[in-house]
Amino acid sequence: MDDADTARWLDEDEQRAWLALVSTVVRLPAALDAQLRRDAGISHFEYQVMAGLSTAPGRTQRMGELARCSDGSLSRLSHTVRRLEERGWVRRTADPADGRRTLATLTDDGWAKVVAIAPGHVAEVRRLVVDPLTAAQLAQLREIGCRINDAIGPDPSLPSVP
């Protein structure tokens, strides 16, 4: 008996739901990225990093935690933060509490960029995700996202946060 004999194949409804999710997972990030590149000259991931820092205490966060919050690897985050540093929007410093760790801080210019970008970005999020759904569907979407993320589990490429 091989795997094909024991596989739990998707029925028609399951396959339609799966294909709808796959399409969304591919198309939504591309649409958000296109809006941010067109309107602000940055990628969606760069915006996620800056927005994450904008809500952190003192607009500062350890790189490991920032990677986790922005759903990116430390390597990707490091390259992105370097580009943001070159633009004067972020700076990195050693963590005074633990010199082995690095802090990223959103600068005043970075804060101004986030403030300028946020209205257009939230309008696009509303247009693509929030406004087409009812309140009940939004609650379902939140629950569905949480359940799928729980099933996936933590990203093993990210360090654990003490």
CATH number of 44's domain = 1.10.10.10
Residue 13 belongs to some domain of the structure: no
Summarize the confidence of residues 78-106 as an average pLDDT.
96
pLDDT digits (tens, 9 = 90+) for 101-115: 999 999 999 999 999
Q: Among 74-83, 93-102, 133-142, 146-155, whose mean pLDDT is lowest? A: 146-155
Total number of domains in the chain: 1
| Residue among 101, 108, 109, 107 at smallest CA distance from 78 | 101
In angstroms, the CA 63 to CA 84 distance is 14
Sheet hosting strand 98-106, strand order edge to edge: 60-62, 98-106, 90-95
In angstroms, the CA 46 to CA 160 distance is 22
In angstroms, the CA 111 to CA 142 distance is 28
Residue 142 belongs to some domain of the structure: yes
Residue 77 belongs to some domain of the structure: yes
pLDDT score of 134 more than 70? yes
pTM reported for the whole predicted model = 0.85
Domain that holds residue 35: 30-152
Q: Give pLDDT, residue 3.
A: 74
Averaged pLDDT of the chain: 93
Residue 64 belongs to some domain of the structure: yes
